[in-house]
A and B are shown apart, each in its own frame.
Chain A
Amino acid sequence: MTTTAASPEAGAQEALPSRPRRGAGLLRHVNLPGIAFLAVLVVLWELVVRGGLLDFQFLPAPTEVLDGAQSLIEGGELWSAVLHTALVAVGGWILASTLGAVVGIALGLSPALWRWTASSIELLRSFPSITFVPLAVLLLGFSYKMELVVVIYASQWPVLVNTMDGVRGVSPGLRDVTRTLGMSRLRSLRTVILPAAASKMLVGLRLGLNLSLILAVAAEIVGNPQGLGYELVFEQQALQPGRMFAYFIAIGLLGMLLNALFQLAVRWLMPGVIAATDRKG
């Protein structure tokens, strides 16, 4: 069995044959029962907090969260925080993906290189990335550079490992075809190897995107005085639950938005591959 953390994702797809998706994405159908349920949930939350059924000192009612959100939008803090976090998460993810894909392709193509490095990679990769935040703070101080380094470090692993697995998994028959046709290495990579490895790479890219947002927020919470994570902690210390929940919801929406954009981009750029990566836990 495989030891890569990314392969469960791939395994899930193999184990569960995907039937045609209903309501793919949020955009295709408006899910009325779903929205109604959310609305009921929010009303219930309001009633429970107002009625004093839940006795938490700092649990805001939805109306307070709304007030908080309004004050943040009017003050302009929300947009600058969202922009910062989104830029670092997406920018870091792009850099990490490039790095991970290049290294992954190299390791996938060369069995010798793989044999002499793969164990090191497996070992380093299984270190919980969050522990590098204090180290990065130590080395780089409380800065956006620290955040970026942490994001890149964490989100390149899934891309690297999945690319490597994908390229190594290309069937020997396909490789033979490229050799028979006398293709150059570059050409065979572009026309045969990468398309064959694409669905696996997409799984890695998607995992990497999720990780980059998680790590961006974590780095901001621990040690970068900018962005959504920092604002969360700031409002927590200022005892402003309404505003804090507003930031929290903004982070969730940002996560949903990034996922949706990723799926749209994949569907648009590589319509054939989507079936394998679309449905994921």
Chain B
Amino acid sequence: MSTPNALVTPGPAADPADAAGQVAPRPSRRRGKPRTGGIPPLRGLLPLVVLLALWQLFGAEASPYFPRPSSWVDGVQRLQDNGELIPALGATTRSLLVALTIATLVGSVIGIAVGASRTIDRMLGPTLEFFRSTPSSAMVPIAVLVLGFTDSMKTSVTVIAALWPILLNARASMRELNPTYLDVAAMLHMSLARRIRTIILPGVLSAILLGIRVAAPITLIVTLLVEIVTGIPGLGALLSRAQQNYQSAQVYGLLVLIGLLALLVNAVVAGIESWVLRYRPPS
């Protein structure tokens, strides 16, 4: 069923079997199930579209709980009109990018350093385990009290939250780097810089990128939480204010907007990942 279909309709709507791992087509298979992964076809959006359409048709314009979708646009439009939307969007995006960048640099360096030595790894183990298990949301009130209501507070909390996936991934992959490679480097008397560039970085790169992919949504969550809790400018602050003023249409509108931002961020991160790893065979 998959092969002819895929030939006729390429693109995202094509049957997932051609995108996924089935290397050799098996003509005899009556129900060749697609393997995991692959992009789900666009027609899968239909239930959501139907739901929104029904909501639009039967929902009340000014319902305090479930205002119809067309009013969401008005709600967000009002923010756009008084010039609050774009700066808020910018503030959230900026702090997201800054935090991810810092966390990537710091997390990779610490992760590689910790993973390189069994002794250090064991020494830091319990401390890392504690911070890894601590829900990132609990950091926010702590940071508010210690650092105050500032932009640098927002950055610090988000960096700390984004740090762990990257750090732990870099550490694990460094620990599992084939020791023979390092022996070769030692034998060739490579300098440390050369060792890092030719052996260590290529070895841990995919793990770090994976860590970034996990960290990106977490970073967005924590950024928004900080904004919701403290009212520091950003989309979260707008959302929290709309909720406090019972502007439900605006809440839904902002929610959709934030969702789109999240989709965009995920797509960009995934795009960067596949671009950086473009020469590697899929594992």
Mark out the residues of chain A between 219 and 261 whose CB falls within 8 Å of any chain B CB in the assembled complex.
221-222, 228-229, 232-233, 235-236, 239, 241, 244-245, 248, 251-253, 255-256, 258-259
Q: Which residues of B contact A53 (CB under 8 A)?
A: none
A272 within 8 Å of B by Cβ?
Answer: no
Mark out the residues of chain A between 39 and 72 whose CB falls within 8 Å of any chain B CB in the assembled complex.
41, 56, 58-59
0/1 string, A193-235, CB within 8 A of B gives 1: 0000000000000000010011111100110000011001101
B210 within 8 Å of A by Cβ?
Answer: yes
Cβ contact within 8 Å between B45 and A120: yes
Give Cα distance in the complex from A15 to B173, angstroms. Answer: 9
Give Cα distance in the complex from A8 to B127, angstroms. Answer: 24
Give Cα distance in the complex from A241 to B130, angstroms. Answer: 20
Cβ contact within 8 Å between B135 and A122: no
Closest residue on chain A to residue B129 by CB atoms? A256
Question: A126-B266, A127-B255 are contacts. A281–B225 as well, Cβ < 8 Å?
Answer: no
- Least Cβ–Cβ distance between A215 and chain B, in angstroms: 8
Cβ contact within 8 Å between B262 and A138: no
Give Cα distance in the complex from A56 to B148, angstroms. Answer: 10
A118 within 8 Å of B by Cβ?
Answer: yes
Q: Which residues of B contact A117 (CB under 8 A)?
A: 44, 47
Closest residue on chain B to residue A7 by CB atoms? B37
Kindly state the interface size class of chain A when it binds its partner: 35 or more
Cβ contact within 8 Å between B210 and A12: yes
- Interface size for B (C-beta < 8 A) is 85
Cβ contact within 8 Å between A130 and B224: yes
Q: Which residues of B contact A121 (CB under 8 A)?
A: 44
Give Cα distance in the complex from A257 to B171, angstroms. Answer: 23
Partner of B135, one of A116, A129, A251: A251
Question: A116-B47, A119-B43 are contacts. A132–B255 as well, Cβ < 8 Å?
Answer: yes
Cβ contact within 8 Å between B248 and A138: yes
Cβ contact within 8 Å between A127 and B259: yes
A16 within 8 Å of B by Cβ?
Answer: yes
**Which segment, of B80-88, B181-189, B190-198, B239-247, faces chain A?**
B239-247
Give Cα distance in the complex from A94 to B124, angstroms. Answer: 32
**Which 8 pairs across A and B sit closest by C-beta, in order of nearness?**
A119-B44, A118-B40, A255-B133, A281-B168, A169-B36, A252-B134, A134-B243, A218-B137
Interface majority SS (helix, strand, loop, mixed), chain B: helix
Give Cα distance in the complex from A36 to B33, angstroms. Answer: 54
Q: Which residues of B contact A3 (CB under 8 A)?
A: 39, 266, 270
- Least Cβ–Cβ distance between B197 and chain A, in angstroms: 21
B169 within 8 Å of A by Cβ?
Answer: yes
Cβ contact within 8 Å between A8 and B224: no
Question: A1-B270, A33-B119, A130-B228 are contacts. A17–B176 as well, Cβ < 8 Å?
Answer: yes
Mark out the residues of chain B between 205 and 256 whose CB falls within 8 Å of any chain A CB in the assembled complex.
206-207, 210-211, 213-214, 217, 220-221, 224-225, 228-229, 236, 239-240, 242-243, 246, 248, 251-252, 254-255
Partner of B146, one of A7, A58, A259: A58
A74 within 8 Å of B by Cβ?
Answer: no
Cβ contact within 8 Å between A221 and B225: yes
Q: Which residues of A contact B43 (CB under 8 A)?
A: 115-116, 119
Cβ contact within 8 Å between A31 and B47: no
Question: A5-B214, A138-B248 are contacts. A123–B165 as well, Cβ < 8 Å?
Answer: no
Closest residue on chain A to residue B138 by CB atoms? A251
Q: Which residues of B contact A180 (CB under 8 A)?
A: none
0/1 string, A14-45, CB within 8 A of B gives 1: 11110100010010000101111110010000
Most buried by B among A59, A129, A130, A166: A130
Q: Which residues of A contact B34 (CB under 8 A)?
A: 111, 168
0/1 string, A255-281, CB within 8 A of B gives 1: 110110000000000000000000101
A192 within 8 Å of B by Cβ?
Answer: no
28 A-B contacts (beta carbon < 8 Å)? A5-B214, A12-B207, A15-B283, A19-B176, A38-B126, A114-B44, A119-B48, A121-B44, A127-B258, A127-B262, A128-B220, A128-B259, A131-B239, A132-B255, A135-B251, A169-B35, A172-B29, A213-B135, A215-B137, A216-B135, A221-B140, A221-B229, A229-B141, A236-B141, A251-B138, A281-B169, A281-B171, A281-B211
Question: A12-B169, A120-B48, A126-B263 are contacts. A236–B145 as well, Cβ < 8 Å?
Answer: yes
A87 within 8 Å of B by Cβ?
Answer: no
B123 within 8 Å of A by Cβ?
Answer: yes
Q: Which residues of B contact A168 (CB under 8 A)?
A: 33-36
Cβ contact within 8 Å between B126 and A134: no
B142 within 8 Å of A by Cβ?
Answer: yes
Cβ contact within 8 Å between A138 and B251: yes
Cβ contact within 8 Å between B46 and A222: no
A133 within 8 Å of B by Cβ?
Answer: yes
Partner of A217, one of B29, B138, B168: B138
Q: Which residues of A contact B102 (CB under 8 A)?
A: none
Cβ contact within 8 Å between B144 and A128: no
Extra pairs beyond A15-B206, A130-B137, A137-B243 (6, CB < 8 Å):
A1-B37, A12-B169, A12-B172, A33-B122, A222-B228, A252-B134
